[in-house]
Amino acid sequence: MRSWPFAKGHGTHNDFVLVVDRHGLLDPTDDDVRWLCDRRAGVGGDGLLRAIKAEHIAGWDGDPSLWFMDYRNADGSVAEMCGNGVRVFARMLLEDGLADGPEVPVATRAGLRPVTLTNGGYRVAMGPVTVEPDAVEVTVGGEGSAHRWRAAAVDVGNPHAVVVLDDGPETPSLTSLDLRPAPRWEPAERFPDGVNVELVEVVDERHLRMRVHERGSGETMSCGTGTVAVAAAQAATLGATEGTWRVDVPGGTVTVELADGRAWLTGPAEIVARGEVLLPG
Identity of the amino acid at 276: E
The answer to the question of whether 215 is labelled as a binding residue is yes
Nearest to 45 by CA among 61, 68, 28, 23: 28
Out of 223, 230, 247, 249, the active site residue is 223
Cα dihedral sign for 80, 86, 92, 93?
positive
Please indicate if the annotation marks 11 as binding a ligand.
no
Catalytic residue selected from 82, 131, 136, 233: 82
| Residue of 1, 14, 3 lying closest to 247 (CA atoms) | 14
Integer Cα distance of 267 and 11 in angstroms: 7
User: Is 37 known to be catalytic?
Assistant: no
244 labelled ligand-binding: no
Degrees to nearest 5, angle at CA 62 with 157 and 130: 20
Q: Which amino acid is at 99?
A: A
The answer to the question of whether 220 is labelled as a binding residue is no
Helices and strands (H, E) in the chain, number of each type: 3, 18
CA angle 106, 192, 76 (to 5 degrees): 50
Residue 82 annotated as catalytic: yes
Q: Give dist(CA 96, CA 143) in Å, integer.
A: 48
Is residue 214 a known part of a binding site?
yes
Among 42, 33, 100, residue whose Cα is nearest residue 71: 33
On whether 119 is known to bind a ligand per the annotation, the reply is no
- Does 73 belong to an annotated binding site? yes
Catalytic residues: 82, 223
* Known binding-site residue numbers: 14, 73, 83-84, 158, 196, 214-215, 224-225
Q: Which residues are annotated as a binding site for substrate?
A: 14, 73, 83-84, 158, 196, 214-215, 224-225
